[in-house]
Amino acid sequence: MTSGRAAGIRRLRGLKNISWLSARQLNRLAAALTVSTIEKREIIIDEKYLPDAAYVLLTGVARITCRNRKGDRILVIMVAPGMIPGFPPPVPGISYNFRCEAVTECQIGTIELKAFVEISLGIASDDFKRMALSYLGRWDLVQLRCANFMSCTLEERIALILLELSDNFGVNEKRGKRITITTRSLSMR
């Protein structure tokens, strides 16, 4: 093993959110990562051009930002070295334009998501995605709703709820979508 590869494995071992990987898994991950340097203020990942990959922040500090309702880019979370969190799945009718940006010069390791899941979990990527979707359900919508509803008018909140209901319980018809559940009243508390 080269000294560069050994240093890379030691660096991976020190990352909190992947410290649970075995030495064998860390060796495989280190060999599979493509490492690149991202300069300060450059975009690491952009929601619009998101390949099916996992990203590991090896060194540096990054941040995840999105656009608020007024179009301003706002800070969502600061990212320390380790796995860069994935962006939530898109919600119809809502665009956040998430992106991960370098706050300092960063070293980023990139690996296809399929390979990362196989190395870290020993299962097929499609199986993992199905399991995660079943287990986590629609918590992404809960988080997005909480963040989005804080500054919405009553009319906007009703429109967003109707979009979500039509996505989950809608049936396509000639004039649009019909929501198939019956409701007595909507509570907007």
pLDDT band, residue 137 (cuts 50/70/90)? low
**Two tokens at 168?**
């989950």
Q: What is the DSSP letter of 78?
A: E
Mean pLDDT, the chain, whole residue set: 79
- Residue 105's beta-bridge partner residues? none
Distance, CA of 48 to CA of 86 (rounded, Å): 13
pLDDT band, residue 89 (cuts 50/70/90)? low
Q: Residue range 140-163: average pLDDT?
A: 69
**Two tokens at 154?**
């009553």
**Two tokens at 4?**
């560069």
Question: pLDDT at residue 96 above 50?
Answer: yes
SS3 90: coil
Distance, CA of 18 to CA of 64 (rounded, Å): 19
Predicted local distance difference test score (pLDDT) of residue 113: 87
**Two tokens at 95?**
């665009």
Its pTM stands at: 0.67
Distance, CA of 19 to CA of 67 (rounded, Å): 32
